[in-house]
Amino acid sequence: MASQYIVEGDNPDLSQERRKATFRVDSLSELLYGVEHLKSRRMIAKLVDTTPELHDTFPTTFMSREEKVENAARKVTIRKETASGSLLRAERRYFIFLVSTLVMHVDGHPLSLHGVMFVPLLMQQTDEEQRQKWLPRAIKGEIIGTYAQTELGHGTNVRQLETTATYDADNEQFIVNSPTVTSTKWWPGNLGKVSNYAIVVAQLYVKGNCYGPHQFIVQLRDENTHLPLPGITIGDIGPKFGINTNDNGFLRLNNVRIPRKQMLMRYSKVTQNGQYIRPIHEKLGYGGMVFVRSVMVSQQALFLAIACTVGIRYSCVRRQGEITPGSGETDLLPQLHALSSGLKAVVTHQVALGIEQCRMACGGHGYSNASALPELYGTAVGGCTYEGDNIVLLLQTARFLMKMAKMAIAMNMQSASVTTKYLFRDRPTKSSINQYSALDHSVLIEAFEHIACRLIFTVYNRIENLKKCGRTREEACNECSVDLCKDDYFSGQQVAYLRSVVYKAMNTIRPNAVPLVDAFDINDREMNSVLGRRDGNVYENLLQWAQLSPLNKTDVITAYIKHLGPYMKQERSKI
């Protein structure tokens, strides 16, 4: 089928693929985005294409973090002028989806949190007077703000936040304070170097009573010099797994005084004389979270769409391996090759999964390079690809197993390898594993051998049947590729036994968890992780570690001097 995606000079393999389409591509795009949305997407894409100031002069991946932030600041501040009306109108609607990926890519930018948190909160959580005072300044860009909730020691659980905001009725002020190391605000996007305001979440204290977390507008930096205000200690938290164009930051408040009217008072209120007025419904603040999460789902869909596009196009371009091998290598695989190939593939895969599981189990801090886990994953997961791509290796092991299956069926015992003797043995037709024997090694091995046999012979028979239907051995193998790469599985009953044994084992292991990893004997230098330190003194060391981030060399970064500062000043000078 003809496609607008086919252009002269394209890789012919790709054009060939496009001609095979059995549907009209644009119809699907319209279905996916909606006709109007698709039009806007394309209009904006064209606008960006023809606006050189919105382009990178250099691929951002080659830039240092300082350069990335500066480059993004340049682009984010010129948007309004160059792309004027249409882009600006569309911007609100597509802020996250389109502008951020088209102009900013996926790595974040200096106004991320300003757009998705600061402005929306000023819309939703302010009373009328507050809205009139703050919202126009924020929307125009006279000030840049963010949202500071999470703390060094507290992510998910808002109720455990330690930052306090104590009302001083005599001065009609709140005193905002970080009483402990773990109360340091940590992670908020664009907090480190870019924002001069933040909505800070703190425990509200009035007349000695604590009324739980509330939101307060706190000025962080001087509007003219951009230097941190007295009582404010602030900076970048260092490189992360991703989103490094964002200056995620830390913030310590040393009894900083703010006017009473900077508590967001749409729902809860504190009166001048210190009366606390409860919101009608406790959870009115949570609507925003539901919104952000549903936005995230679409954003994540775009991420996966990008990955699929890259993966599928590239796989049609590359010429990798052949279904029918040119030589007889795969028929002569020694068992050691089969074993090391399969083992390498399974181990690298499981290790990568395991590291990510450990990383995510560390919550937000696992995402910071301070945990050492992002770099560790990056290194370990390379092993899935280098020294033989895992899929290729699994298929080689699988071919070897098919050969062994054939011999087992022919009872050709002499040709069997030591590693696959179990294919020749008489076995019970059902695994004998149960809730009592599920931790017995020999029974476990028996179970694995049983399952391996069943899977191997199932696939073998499937291939033989396909061959009988006229396919070549190679074609038949190729069609079974997915099966050949499948993990073993247990029956539902057996899974239930194993699961209950796993629960019991967890109870036994739990008290030994730390000593068990201590036994790996990995010292702090080797581990290179602030989170994994032997002494557990994590938070003060996270704070110390972050001071070394190059973004923290100066209080005011070049991105501000060159772009963000002039941008805000210009907006302020407009009448």
Any contact of residue 153 with a second copy (CB under 8 A)? Answer: yes
**Are the C-beta atoms of residues 485 and 459 closer than 8 Å to each other?**
no
Q: Is 189 annotated as a binding residue?
A: yes
Classify residue 337 by burial, with Cβ atoms within 10 Å: 0-12, 13-18, 19+: middle
Any contact of residue 163 with a second copy (CB under 8 A)? Answer: no
DSSP for 97-155 reads IIIHHHTSTTS--TTHHIIIIIHHHHHHS--HHHHHHHHHHHHHTSS-EEEE--BTTBS
Query: Cα 120 to the chain's mean position, in Å?
Result: 23
Quickly list H helices, 410-537. 441-468, 473-479, 481-484, 492-509, 513-518, 524-527
Nearest-angstrom CA–CA distance, 402 and 457: 8
- What mask of x and - would describe binding to a second copy in positions 59 to 98, judged by CB under 8 A? x-xx-x---------------------------------x
- What mask of x and - would describe binding to a second copy in positions 419 to 458, judged by CB under 8 A? ----------------------------------------
| 369-401 b/e (C-beta count within 10 Å ≥ 16 → b) | bbbbbbebbeebbebbeeebebeebbbbbbbbb
Q: Which is nearer to a second copy, 232 or 370 (CB)?
A: 370
Any contact of residue 210 with a second copy (CB under 8 A)? Answer: no
Nearest distance in Å: CB 296, a second copy: 6
Which of 223-231, 250-258, 407-415, 495-503 is the region at the interface with a second copy (rule: CB under 8 A)? 495-503
Binds a second copy (CB under 8 A): choice among 476, 529, 560, 565: 529
**Are the C-beta atoms of residues 502 and 511 closer than 8 Å to each other?**
no
Crossing angle of helices 65-94 and 35-49, in 10° steps, is 140
Binds a second copy (CB under 8 A): choice among 251, 388, 398, 456: 388
Any contact of residue 48 with a second copy (CB under 8 A)? Answer: yes
Nearest distance in Å: CB 171, a second copy: 32
Q: Which residue type does 363 have?
A: G
Task: Reply yes or no on whether 387 is catalytic.
Answer: yes
Any contact of residue 120 with a second copy (CB under 8 A)? Answer: no
> In this structure, are strands 164-168 and 173-177 parallel, antiparallel, or unpaired?
antiparallel
Binds a second copy (CB under 8 A): choice among 273, 318, 411, 426: 318
Binds a second copy (CB under 8 A): choice among 180, 513, 554, 569: 513
Any contact of residue 409 with a second copy (CB under 8 A)? Answer: no
Any contact of residue 293 with a second copy (CB under 8 A)? Answer: yes
235 φ, ψ (degrees, to nearest 5) = 180, 180
Q: Is 342 annotated as a binding residue?
A: no
Any contact of residue 372 with a second copy (CB under 8 A)? Answer: yes
Any contact of residue 520 with a second copy (CB under 8 A)? Answer: yes
Token representation of residue 520:
């790996």
Any contact of residue 2 with a second copy (CB under 8 A)? Answer: no
Q: Which is nearer to a second copy, 158 or 407 (CB)?
A: 158
Classify residue 508 by burial, with Cβ atoms within 10 Å: 0-12, 13-18, 19+: exposed
Any contact of residue 58 with a second copy (CB under 8 A)? Answer: yes
**Residues comprising the binding site for FAD?**
150, 189
